Protein backbone atom coordinates (compact mmCIF):
# COMPACT_ATOMS: atom_id res chain seq x y z
CA UNK A 1 0.00 0.00 0.00
CA UNK A 2 1.38 3.40 -1.01
CA UNK A 3 2.14 5.85 1.79
CA UNK A 4 0.88 9.34 0.97
CA UNK A 5 1.81 11.23 4.13
CA UNK A 6 4.34 10.41 6.81
CA UNK A 7 5.14 12.40 9.94
CA UNK A 8 8.36 11.37 11.70
CA UNK A 9 9.07 12.55 15.23
CA UNK A 10 7.35 15.91 14.92
CA UNK A 11 8.02 18.26 17.83
CA UNK A 12 6.91 21.85 18.09
CA UNK A 13 7.58 24.55 20.66
CA UNK A 14 5.81 27.88 21.07
CA UNK A 15 8.44 30.27 22.34
CA UNK A 16 6.99 33.32 24.04
CA UNK A 17 7.89 34.51 27.58
CA UNK A 18 8.12 30.82 28.38
CA UNK A 19 8.63 27.84 26.07
CA UNK A 20 5.64 25.56 25.54
CA UNK A 21 6.26 22.08 24.11
CA UNK A 22 3.01 21.77 22.17
CA UNK A 23 3.66 18.69 19.96
CA UNK A 24 5.63 15.81 21.43
CA UNK A 25 7.27 13.35 19.10
CA UNK A 26 4.35 12.65 16.78
CA UNK A 27 4.86 9.91 14.18
CA UNK A 28 2.33 8.23 11.89
CA UNK A 29 1.61 7.35 8.26
CA UNK A 30 -1.42 7.74 6.05
CA UNK A 31 -1.88 5.38 3.12
CA UNK A 32 -3.46 6.05 -0.22
CA UNK A 33 -7.24 5.77 -0.05
CA UNK A 34 -7.25 5.81 3.76
CA UNK A 35 -9.80 7.94 5.64
CA UNK A 36 -8.31 8.96 8.99
CA UNK A 37 -9.69 11.18 11.74
CA UNK A 38 -7.82 13.04 14.50
CA UNK A 39 -9.55 13.44 17.83
CA UNK A 40 -8.58 14.94 21.18
CA UNK A 41 -9.66 17.48 23.74
CA UNK A 42 -9.61 21.18 22.99
CA UNK A 43 -6.06 22.51 23.22
CA UNK A 44 -4.29 19.14 22.75
CA UNK A 45 -2.60 20.35 19.55
CA UNK A 46 -4.75 19.08 16.67
CA UNK A 47 -4.85 22.32 14.66
CA UNK A 48 -1.17 22.98 15.34
CA UNK A 49 -0.37 19.53 13.93
CA UNK A 50 -2.59 20.04 10.88
CA UNK A 51 -0.84 23.36 10.14
CA UNK A 52 2.48 21.53 10.07
CA UNK A 53 1.21 18.57 8.04
CA UNK A 54 -0.33 20.94 5.51
CA UNK A 55 3.08 22.67 5.11
CA UNK A 56 1.70 26.02 6.28
CA UNK A 57 3.85 26.01 9.43
CA UNK A 58 7.53 25.22 8.88
CA UNK A 59 8.73 25.99 12.41
CA UNK A 60 8.97 22.44 13.81
CA UNK A 61 11.43 19.63 14.46
CA UNK A 62 11.18 16.25 12.76
CA UNK A 63 10.48 15.20 9.19
CA UNK A 64 7.50 15.27 6.93
CA UNK A 65 7.15 13.21 3.73
CA UNK A 66 4.51 13.63 1.05
CA UNK A 67 4.35 10.84 -1.54
CA UNK A 68 7.66 9.56 -0.10
CA UNK A 69 9.43 12.86 -0.76
CA UNK A 70 10.95 14.81 2.11
CA UNK A 71 9.24 18.19 2.24
CA UNK A 72 10.81 19.44 5.46
CA UNK A 73 13.30 22.19 4.71
CA UNK A 74 11.99 23.11 1.26
CA UNK A 75 11.75 26.77 0.28
CA UNK A 76 8.48 28.63 0.83
CA UNK A 77 7.93 28.91 -2.93
CA UNK A 78 8.29 25.18 -3.38
CA UNK A 79 6.06 24.46 -0.38
CA UNK A 80 3.37 26.72 -1.76
CA UNK A 81 3.49 24.78 -5.04
CA UNK A 82 3.38 21.39 -3.24
CA UNK A 83 0.44 22.58 -1.14
CA UNK A 84 -1.55 23.80 -4.10
CA UNK A 85 -0.90 20.70 -6.20
CA UNK A 86 -1.03 17.85 -3.69
CA UNK A 87 -3.11 18.96 -0.70
CA UNK A 88 -6.76 19.96 -0.65
CA UNK A 89 -8.19 21.81 2.35
CA UNK A 90 -11.65 21.89 3.82
CA UNK A 91 -12.19 24.03 6.92
CA UNK A 92 -15.07 24.56 9.33
CA UNK A 93 -15.77 27.87 7.61
CA UNK A 94 -15.58 27.51 3.88
CA UNK A 95 -13.67 30.74 3.03
CA UNK A 96 -15.35 31.07 -0.36
CA UNK A 97 -15.13 34.43 -2.10
CA UNK A 98 -18.70 35.62 -1.64
CA UNK A 99 -18.87 37.93 -4.68
CA UNK A 100 -17.54 35.24 -7.02
CA UNK A 101 -19.69 32.52 -8.58
CA UNK A 102 -19.52 28.92 -7.39
CA UNK A 103 -17.72 27.99 -10.62
CA UNK A 104 -15.15 30.81 -10.24
CA UNK A 105 -14.45 29.77 -6.64
CA UNK A 106 -13.79 26.18 -7.67
CA UNK A 107 -11.51 27.27 -10.54
CA UNK A 108 -9.29 29.54 -8.41
CA UNK A 109 -6.67 27.03 -7.09
CA UNK A 110 -6.15 25.68 -10.63
CA UNK A 111 -5.66 29.20 -12.01
CA UNK A 112 -3.14 29.81 -9.24
CA UNK A 113 -1.29 26.61 -10.14
CA UNK A 114 -1.13 27.81 -13.75
CA UNK A 115 -0.66 24.43 -15.43
CA UNK A 116 -3.83 24.38 -17.57
CA UNK A 117 -5.74 26.65 -19.94
CA UNK A 118 -8.88 28.50 -18.83
CA UNK A 119 -11.06 26.12 -20.88
CA UNK A 120 -9.46 23.02 -19.33
CA UNK A 121 -9.84 24.44 -15.82
CA UNK A 122 -13.48 25.31 -16.46
CA UNK A 123 -14.10 21.81 -17.78
CA UNK A 124 -12.44 20.25 -14.69
CA UNK A 125 -14.39 22.51 -12.33
CA UNK A 126 -17.72 21.58 -13.92
CA UNK A 127 -16.76 17.91 -13.61
CA UNK A 128 -16.07 18.34 -9.87
CA UNK A 129 -19.34 20.22 -9.39
CA UNK A 130 -21.17 17.44 -11.19
CA UNK A 131 -19.46 14.82 -9.02
CA UNK A 132 -20.68 16.64 -5.91
CA UNK A 133 -24.15 17.08 -7.37
CA UNK A 134 -24.06 20.89 -7.33
CA UNK A 135 -23.63 21.60 -11.03
CA UNK A 136 -26.98 23.39 -11.15
CA UNK A 137 -25.76 26.15 -8.81
CA UNK A 138 -22.48 26.77 -10.65
CA UNK A 139 -23.40 30.28 -11.78
CA UNK A 140 -24.84 31.42 -8.45
CA UNK A 141 -22.85 33.79 -6.27
CA UNK A 142 -21.24 32.00 -3.33
CA UNK A 143 -23.12 34.34 -0.96
CA UNK A 144 -26.45 33.13 -2.37
CA UNK A 145 -26.20 29.41 -1.55
CA UNK A 146 -26.91 27.38 1.59
CA UNK A 147 -24.39 26.30 4.24
CA UNK A 148 -24.43 22.68 3.09
CA UNK A 149 -23.95 23.77 -0.53
CA UNK A 150 -21.07 26.06 0.50
CA UNK A 151 -19.26 23.15 2.11
CA UNK A 152 -19.73 21.02 -1.01
CA UNK A 153 -18.33 23.90 -3.11
CA UNK A 154 -15.37 24.04 -0.71
CA UNK A 155 -14.82 20.30 -1.29
CA UNK A 156 -15.03 20.77 -5.09
CA UNK A 157 -12.46 23.57 -4.78
CA UNK A 158 -10.22 21.31 -2.67
CA UNK A 159 -10.41 18.66 -5.41
CA UNK A 160 -9.75 20.85 -8.44
CA UNK A 161 -6.02 20.11 -8.70
CA UNK A 162 -6.53 16.37 -8.08
CA UNK A 163 -4.65 16.33 -4.76
CA UNK A 164 -3.22 13.21 -3.09
CA UNK A 165 -4.80 14.08 0.24
CA UNK A 166 -7.60 16.18 1.65
CA UNK A 167 -7.03 17.71 5.08
CA UNK A 168 -9.93 19.08 7.05
CA UNK A 169 -10.18 21.05 10.28
CA UNK A 170 -13.68 20.45 11.66
CA UNK A 171 -15.23 20.43 8.16
CA UNK A 172 -18.62 19.40 9.56
CA UNK A 173 -18.40 21.56 12.70
CA UNK A 174 -20.72 24.20 11.31
CA UNK A 175 -23.25 21.88 9.66
CA UNK A 176 -26.49 20.27 10.83
CA UNK A 177 -26.54 16.49 11.12
CA UNK A 178 -28.06 15.97 7.65
CA UNK A 179 -25.35 18.02 5.93
CA UNK A 180 -22.61 16.59 8.16
CA UNK A 181 -23.58 13.09 7.07
CA UNK A 182 -23.68 14.24 3.48
CA UNK A 183 -20.10 15.56 3.76
CA UNK A 184 -18.99 12.32 5.43
CA UNK A 185 -20.50 10.31 2.57
CA UNK A 186 -18.72 12.48 -0.01
CA UNK A 187 -15.39 11.92 1.77
CA UNK A 188 -16.01 8.19 1.96
CA UNK A 189 -16.87 8.06 -1.73
CA UNK A 190 -13.70 10.02 -2.60
CA UNK A 191 -11.56 7.62 -0.60
CA UNK A 192 -13.05 4.59 -2.34
CA UNK A 193 -13.60 5.82 -5.89
CA UNK A 194 -10.74 8.30 -6.32
CA UNK A 195 -8.28 6.54 -3.96
CA UNK A 196 -7.94 9.84 -2.14
CA UNK A 197 -6.50 9.96 1.38
CA UNK A 198 -8.32 12.03 3.98
CA UNK A 199 -7.10 13.40 7.29
CA UNK A 200 -9.87 15.08 9.21
CA UNK A 201 -9.76 16.77 12.63
CA UNK A 202 -13.13 16.36 14.29
CA UNK A 203 -14.86 16.55 17.66
CA UNK A 204 -17.69 14.40 16.32
CA UNK A 205 -17.33 10.86 17.69
CA UNK A 206 -19.96 9.46 15.31
CA UNK A 207 -18.07 10.91 12.35
CA UNK A 208 -14.74 9.55 13.62
CA UNK A 209 -16.14 6.10 14.32
CA UNK A 210 -17.06 5.75 10.66
CA UNK A 211 -13.53 6.57 9.41
CA UNK A 212 -10.89 3.88 8.82
CA UNK A 213 -8.65 4.90 11.71
CA UNK A 214 -8.83 7.32 14.64
CA UNK A 215 -5.64 9.05 15.75
CA UNK A 216 -6.11 10.15 19.34
CA UNK A 217 -4.12 13.01 20.86
CA UNK A 218 -3.67 14.16 24.44
CA UNK A 219 -1.46 17.00 25.69
CA UNK A 220 0.49 17.15 22.43
CA UNK A 221 1.10 13.40 22.26
CA UNK A 222 -0.31 10.76 19.97
CA UNK A 223 -1.72 8.34 22.55
CA UNK A 224 -3.59 5.81 20.39
CA UNK A 225 -4.39 4.78 16.85
CA UNK A 226 -7.58 2.78 16.63
CA UNK A 227 -8.98 1.04 13.63
CA UNK A 228 -12.61 2.10 13.63
CA UNK A 229 -15.37 -0.29 14.73
CA UNK A 230 -16.97 -0.30 11.25
CA UNK A 231 -13.98 -2.20 9.82
N1 LIG B 1 0.87 31.04 18.98
C2 LIG B 1 0.75 30.35 20.13
N3 LIG B 1 1.55 30.60 21.17
C4 LIG B 1 1.46 29.87 22.31
N5 LIG B 1 0.58 28.87 22.50
C6 LIG B 1 -0.26 28.58 21.48
C7 LIG B 1 -0.22 29.29 20.24
N8 LIG B 1 -1.17 28.76 19.41
C9 LIG B 1 -1.77 27.78 20.12
N10 LIG B 1 -1.22 27.66 21.34
C11 LIG B 1 -1.58 26.67 22.38
O12 LIG B 1 -1.22 25.39 21.85
C13 LIG B 1 -2.16 24.40 22.30
C14 LIG B 1 -2.69 23.64 21.12
O15 LIG B 1 -3.54 24.48 20.33
P16 LIG B 1 -4.37 23.91 19.10
O17 LIG B 1 -5.11 25.06 18.49
O18 LIG B 1 -3.47 23.13 18.24
O19 LIG B 1 -5.37 22.93 19.85
P20 LIG B 1 -6.59 22.07 19.27
O21 LIG B 1 -6.42 20.70 19.76
O22 LIG B 1 -6.72 22.29 17.81
O23 LIG B 1 -7.83 22.77 20.01
P24 LIG B 1 -9.36 22.97 19.54
O25 LIG B 1 -9.96 21.60 19.52
O26 LIG B 1 -9.93 23.83 20.62
O27 LIG B 1 -9.33 23.63 18.20
C28 LIG B 1 -3.20 25.15 23.12
O29 LIG B 1 -2.86 25.01 24.48
C30 LIG B 1 -3.06 26.58 22.67
O31 LIG B 1 -3.43 27.47 23.70
Binding site membership of 92 for ligand 1 (Cβ less than 6 Å) = no
Prediction pTM value: 0.92
Condensed to tens digits (0 to 9), the pLDDT of residues 37-62 reads 999 999 999 999 999 999 999 999 99
Q: Are strands 165-169 and 3-15 parallel, antiparallel or unpaired?
A: unpaired
**pLDDT given at position 226:** 93
**pLDDT given at position 63:** 98
pLDDT less than 70: residues of the chain = 229-231
Among 17, 18, 20, 169, the mutation site with the greatest number of ligand 1 atoms within 8 A of its Cβ is 20
ipTM for the whole complex: 0.97
Residue 93 burial by Cβ neighbours in a 10 Å radius (0-12, 13-18, 19+): middle
Binding site membership of 22 for ligand 1 (Cβ less than 6 Å) = yes
- Of all protein residues, the one whose alpha carbon is nearest to atom 17 of ligand 1 is 47
**pLDDT given at position 230:** 58
Please give the tally of structural domains in the chain: 1
- The parent domain of residue 61 ranges over 3-227
Condensed to tens digits (0 to 9), the pLDDT of residues 62-72 reads 999 999 999 99
- Of ligand 1's atoms, which has the minimum distance to the CA of residue 44? 21
Residue 49 belongs to domain with CATH number: 3.40.50.300
Q: Are strands 221-227 and 69-70 parallel, antiparallel or unpaired?
A: unpaired
Q: Cα of 124 to ligand 1 centre, how many Å?
A: 37
Amino acid sequence: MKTVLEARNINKYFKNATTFHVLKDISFKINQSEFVSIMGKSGCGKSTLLYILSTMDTDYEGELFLNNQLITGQTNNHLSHIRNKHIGFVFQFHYLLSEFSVLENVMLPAKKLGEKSFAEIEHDAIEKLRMLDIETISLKKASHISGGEKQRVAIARALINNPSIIMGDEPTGNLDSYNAENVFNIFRQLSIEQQLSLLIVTHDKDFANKTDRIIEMEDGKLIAQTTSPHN
